[in-house]
């Protein structure tokens, strides 16, 4: 069993840390708000006061934070992960951040003798709890091979996609489809509803059809009632869509449907829905269609 660190114990990070503990690993954790980690502490997780303390006490440190500035905040400075990096230590960042930021941190880890992998996840709270969460991994192939058994304790598949930054690029490419699919799904449900079909029936037909992706299978019913705790909120969804649009401009790839979805995410924020699950895109369209959500 491994001695593991985990930085960022939010909706997904906290559950991944719990899963690693359930697999018998010793986990030392850090979160900006300690109270949010209380359930993990009660279950036996060790606590560290800073990201540096986490990395200093563990050979392998995971992180899952909100965005690029948050990754830089836990990596740099006197209390950052980099201050504890040394030969033999591995830093696995599961955040969805700018590939440029990820590569810059990886270079600093390497300069101190450590190795960084970017390993964002594909899935949701439900996927994780079902043991179906998948990962993509970028960075040194030998290190990937070494930590693969640990990654497979989190979920059934962890695919190496290339060097540092490639996994976050792949995650961003995947995530742009979430908003696009939710927007198209919402259009179809509202069209059916305004033609006289019960919304619940329309959702059932759609999510049972050949058009239903796994993501729509679990998030589609949220148009009937948004979850009290957002699985992936509007603010985070727009962060990822904006990263995709920035990559598209840099690489010369037009992303017209992602751009439209991004504008509707802005509208959702304008309606005060930024902390609600991104399925709240339905509420924006329903508002425009004159339908009570």
- Asked if pLDDT for residue 130 goes beyond 90, the answer is no
Q: For residue 129, what pLDDT band results from cuts at 50, 70 and 90?
A: confident
Structure confidence at residue 63 (pLDDT): 98
How many CB atoms within 10 Å of residue 57?
Answer: 16
Give the contacts of 203 (CB within 8 A, at least 6 positions apart): 189, 220, 221, 223, 224
Angle between helices 199-207 and 166-194 (to 10 degrees): 140
Decide if 43 contacts 18 (C-beta within 8 A).
yes
List, in order of start, the domains of the chain with CATH numbers: 3-164 (3.40.50.720), 170-289 (1.10.1040.10)
Please report which confidence band the pLDDT of residue 174 belongs to, taking 50, 70 and 90 as the band edges.
Answer: very high
Mean pLDDT of 229-233: 91
Which two three-digit tokens encode residue 67?
Answer: 């965005």
DSSP secondary structure string, 65-106? Answer: -SSHHHHHHHHSSTTSGGGG--TT-EEEE-----HHHHHHHH
pLDDT at 59: 94
Beta bridge partners of 62: 6, 92
pLDDT reported for residue 1: 79
Average pLDDT over residues 262-274: 97
pLDDT at 126 over 90: no
Whether 132 is a known active-site residue: answer: no
Query: Does residue 131 have a pLDDT over 90?
Result: no
Contacts 24+ apart (CB under 8 A), 27-31: 28/3, 28/4, 28/53, 28/54, 28/57, 28/58, 29/5, 29/54, 30/5, 30/6, 30/54, 31/7
C-alpha 81/C-alpha 91 separation (Å) is: 8
Token pair for residue 197?
Answer: 């079909």
Of 44-48, 66-70, 227-231, least confident by mean pLDDT is 227-231
Is it the case that residue 259 has pLDDT exceeding 90?
A: yes
pLDDT digits (tens, 9 = 90+) for 63-86: 999 999 999 999 999 999 999 999
Quote the mean pLDDT of the chain.
95
Q: Per the residue annotation, which of 171, 194, 235, 239 is the catalytic one?
A: 171
């Amino acid at each position: 069993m491994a001695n593991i660190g985990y930085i960022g114990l939010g909706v997904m990070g906290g559950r991944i840390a719990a899963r690693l503990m359930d697999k018998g690993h010793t986990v030392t954790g850090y979160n900006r708000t300690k109270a949010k980690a209380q359930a993990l502490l009660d279950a036996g997780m060790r606590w560290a006061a800073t990201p540096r303390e986490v990395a200093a006490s563990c050979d392998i440190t995971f992180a899952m934070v909100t965005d690029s500035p948050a990754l830089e905040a836990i990596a740099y400075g006197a209390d950052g992960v980099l201050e504890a990096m040394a030969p033999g230590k591995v830093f696995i960042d599961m955040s969805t951040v700018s590939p440029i930021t990820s590569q810059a941190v990886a270079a600093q880890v390497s300069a101190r003798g450590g190795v960084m992998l970017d390993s964002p996840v594909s899935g949701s709270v439900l996927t994780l709890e079902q043991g179906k969460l998948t990962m993509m991994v970028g960075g040194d192939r030998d290190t990937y091979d070494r930590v693969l058994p640990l990654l497979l304790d989190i979920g059934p598949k962890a695919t190496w996609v290339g060097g540092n930054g490639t996994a976050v690029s792949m995650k961003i490419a995947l995530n742009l489809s979430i908003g696009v699919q939710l927007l198209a799904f919402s259009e179809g449900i509202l069209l059916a509803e305004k033609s006289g079909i019960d919304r619940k029936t329309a959702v059932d037909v759609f999510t049972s059809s050949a058009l239903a992706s796994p993501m729509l299978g679990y998030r589609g019913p949220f148009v009937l009632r948004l979850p009290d705790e957002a699985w992936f909120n509007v603010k985070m969804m727009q962060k990822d869509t904006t990263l995709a649009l920035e990559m598209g401009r840099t690489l010369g790839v037009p992303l017209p449907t992602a751009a439209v979805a991004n504008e509707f995410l802005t509208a959702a924020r304008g309606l005060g829905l930024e902390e609600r699950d991104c399925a709240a895109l339905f509420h924006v369209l329903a508002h425009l269609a004159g339908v009570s959500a």
